[in-house]
Chains A and B, each alone.
Chain A
Amino acid sequence: MEFLDVAAASKDVLVGLLMVLSLALTVIGLLSYRRTGNPKVGMVTISFILFLLKGIFLAVGLYFTDLVRVPRGFAFSFDIMLAIDVLVLLALYLALFRKGRS
């Protein structure tokens, strides 16, 4: 059986999570901005769009072209940075729902 490359698998899962969370936040942000017209919400939405672009760039670069390649020596650091991005988005996403419940 082929050895499961934990660093590589973690990176793949994190890229998937990053794209979904950033997309969800972008959609929610756009809907909120359309409803409120608040420029602060617009700015926050732009930051979510940037996260989404980052996710798309990584997905295209890693899986469909050779644009992005992660050296094995850098894999652990790469995973940590991706995990922090995902945690930031997750915290913001959950914060929206907390606000909704209150």
Chain B
Amino acid sequence: MPGMLSFYGRVPFTGQTVVLMCLLTLTMLMPIMSSSQGATVIDFGDEATDVLEDADHNGLAEYLVIKVKVNVYEPGAYILHGTIGGDHIAASHGPLVLEIGPHELELRFSGGDISLFGVTGHYRIELELYSTDSSLDPVVKEIFTSDIYRPQMFEAPQGTGRVSVSTDRDKVYVIGDPLTISVNQTYPQLTFFYTVDEGRGSTSSLTYTTLIAFDDSDSDGVWDPELDEKKYEADLTMVDWELDLDVKNGVVISLYGVVQLRLAGTTTFVAWAKVTFRLTSTLLLETYDSQKFDIDIDLWQPLDATHIAVLHTLRDDTGERSIEEGPEDGSDPVVHQLRVVNDRGGTQNTYSWTDEITVGYSSLSTGSEASTWYDIGDGVADIWFSYPLEGDVQVIHHDPTVGMDPENIPDVKPDEDFIRNSVLIMLCGLGLGILVVGATLYSRKVMTMKRKGGDT
């Protein structure tokens, strides 16, 4: 093949050249490939710094503030989370909507928590950055070593029943004693249980599922499905919920979402409302066994309906307890209560509310009265809160309470810690024994043979 020969003759080392070209092409393509898959959307910038915050100037810090520099490569909502000493102390900031470029974020660790942590020295702080969009890059982690601190430099928590906050990717926990409440970060659900048993035997949840607007044709304040009263409806579980955690003044957790109300029985969206569930740690009652939370409905346009109602479900998550109606205590206003009762008849979780609500046009201004009803089943209760839309009401506020009965705190024994058993290591011991026995038998045989050889 003269042509081929002449080609090889004109371009020496053709094979190597092709390989080199391929490598060069790959090298050029790599940045493009890496930018299209698993690209870095946010990263830590320069070294973080730590300062103490002593707002009341009493010489004791209320917060250890970590100032963290981050570089954002893709705009979005991000959460900065940090822990000290494993999971002993945790703090979060966000979700924060960040534009492309450098930013400085703050993490505020409670001085009370550090005071109780009781460790002197450099604190190893594990920092995590992640997007609220779980499809984006996973958590970016960094370790920061703080200056030397002593617990005595921080303000000790007041009283015995302190409150701390902890987060994971799904939930934010407000931990008191005896009550712990968690708020789901992407779903309208509250979970509450005894702190001491970490929820193993006492968890109940409140899940908000449906919002409807209806015309109350029989004027009883209650939605009657048989009277064709429903005009608008929205599935609260299908809303994009966002969580805002503010730790500057106690702990304020706000879960909010924009709800699209559609004409009942159709897919036509006709109205929007912002629904917010807000939990404020300063409203944790002095005994730390119950917590008020807010339900706020903000209609973005007037609705031609007489009432708006929210359906939620109180569920015993252990599957072993029942739900009962609490007794009327004769208080004014009347307090309605549902109780989750264990098999010995002891009340553990409680959910209570009054019919008092606050309403208004653009802001909350006047008192009004809700209608509430419920249907108790096996370990579950469907509860309706119905709010009248009298006049030009577009803003509604209601504040029920969840709690744990301090009389029935379970006696939880700490798990006994047993050492692990490894078959593999035992087999190593077995092999060692076989080796010892084999070696002695072999040496005996050798010596016997030697002796016999000597005798002959």
A residues neighboring B (CB under 8 Å): 5, 7-9, 11-21, 24, 59, 62-63, 69-73, 75, 90, 93-94, 97, 100-101
Spot the interface stretch: B58-66, B90-98, B343-351, B417-425.
B417-425
Complexed CA–CA distance, A98 and B143 (Å): 61
Residue of A nearest to B451 (CB): A101
5 CB < 8 A contacts A-B: A13-B429, A16-B431, A19-B433, A20-B433, A21-B433
Complexed CA–CA distance, A70 and B422 (Å): 13
Most buried by A among B419, B426, B440, B444: B419
Q: Are A8 and B433 in contact (CB under 8 A)?
A: no
Q: Are A20 and B434 in contact (CB under 8 A)?
A: yes
Question: Is B447 in contact with chain A by the CB < 8 A criterion?
Answer: yes
**Chain B's nearest CB lies how many Å from the CB of A88?**
14
Q: Which 8 A-B pairs have the closest CB atoms?
A: A16-B429, A20-B433, A13-B429, A12-B425, A16-B430, A8-B419, A12-B426, A69-B418
Contact among A12, A63, A72 with B428 in the assembled complex (CB-CB below 8 Å): A12
| Cβ–Cβ < 8 Å partners of A8 in chain B | 419-422, 425
Interface set, chain B 373-425, CB cutoff 8 A to A = 416-423, 425
Main secondary structure, interface of A, reads helix
Q: Are A17 and B423 in contact (CB under 8 A)?
A: no
Complexed CA–CA distance, A36 and B434 (Å): 26
Question: Is B29 in contact with chain A by the CB < 8 A criterion?
Answer: no
Given A20-B433, A20-B437, A97-B444, A72 and B427 touching (CB < 8 A)?
Answer: no
Contact among A13, A69, A75 with B432 in the assembled complex (CB-CB below 8 Å): A13
| Cβ–Cβ < 8 Å partners of A11 in chain B | 419, 421
Give the A-B contact count at a CB cut-off of 8 A.
82
Residue of B nearest to A20 (CB): B433
| Cβ–Cβ < 8 Å partners of B420 in chain A | 5, 8
| Cβ–Cβ < 8 Å partners of A15 in chain B | 426, 429
Q: Are B433 and A72 in contact (CB under 8 A)?
A: no
Main secondary structure, interface of B, reads helix
Contact among B417, B425, B427, B440 with A97 in the assembled complex (CB-CB below 8 Å): B440
Complexed CA–CA distance, A83 and B431 (Å): 17
| Cβ–Cβ < 8 Å partners of B421 in chain A | 8, 11-12, 62-63
| Cβ–Cβ < 8 Å partners of B431 in chain A | 16
Complexed CA–CA distance, A17 and B434 (Å): 8
Given A20-B437, A21-B437, A101-B447, A12 and B418 touching (CB < 8 A)?
Answer: no
Contact among B416, B426, B430 with A71 in the assembled complex (CB-CB below 8 Å): B416
| Cβ–Cβ < 8 Å partners of A5 in chain B | 419-420
Given A12-B425, A13-B425, A101-B447, A20 and B430 touching (CB < 8 A)?
Answer: yes
| Cβ–Cβ < 8 Å partners of A59 in chain B | 426
Q: Are A72 and B417 in contact (CB under 8 A)?
A: yes
Q: Are A71 and B418 in contact (CB under 8 A)?
A: yes
**Chain A's nearest CB lies how many Å from the CB of B404?**
32
| Cβ–Cβ < 8 Å partners of B436 in chain A | 17, 20-21, 90
| Cβ–Cβ < 8 Å partners of A70 in chain B | 418-419
Q: Are B433 and A16 in contact (CB under 8 A)?
A: yes
Complexed CA–CA distance, A14 and B436 (Å): 13
Q: Are B426 and A16 in contact (CB under 8 A)?
A: yes
| Cβ–Cβ < 8 Å partners of A7 in chain B | 419
Contact among B416, B418, B429, B444 with A17 in the assembled complex (CB-CB below 8 Å): B429
Q: Are A19 and B437 in contact (CB under 8 A)?
A: no
Complexed CA–CA distance, A63 and B440 (Å): 29
| Cβ–Cβ < 8 Å partners of B428 in chain A | 12-13, 16
Q: Are A12 and B422 in contact (CB under 8 A)?
A: yes
**Chain B's nearest CB lies how many Å from the CB of A101?**
7
Complexed CA–CA distance, A93 and B428 (Å): 20
| Cβ–Cβ < 8 Å partners of B432 in chain A | 13, 16-17, 20
| Cβ–Cβ < 8 Å partners of B419 in chain A | 5, 7-8, 11, 70-72, 75
Q: Are B440 and A93 in contact (CB under 8 A)?
A: yes
Q: Are A100 and B444 in contact (CB under 8 A)?
A: yes
| Cβ–Cβ < 8 Å partners of B426 in chain A | 12-13, 15-16, 59, 62-63
Q: Are A71 and B417 in contact (CB under 8 A)?
A: yes
Given A12-B425, A93-B440, A97-B440, A17 and B417 touching (CB < 8 A)?
Answer: no
**Chain B's nearest CB lies how many Å from the CB of A32?**
14
| Cβ–Cβ < 8 Å partners of A17 in chain B | 429-430, 432-433, 436
**Chain B's nearest CB lies how many Å from the CB of A30?**
15
Residue of B nearest to A58 (CB): B426
| Cβ–Cβ < 8 Å partners of A69 in chain B | 418
| Cβ–Cβ < 8 Å partners of A63 in chain B | 421, 423, 426
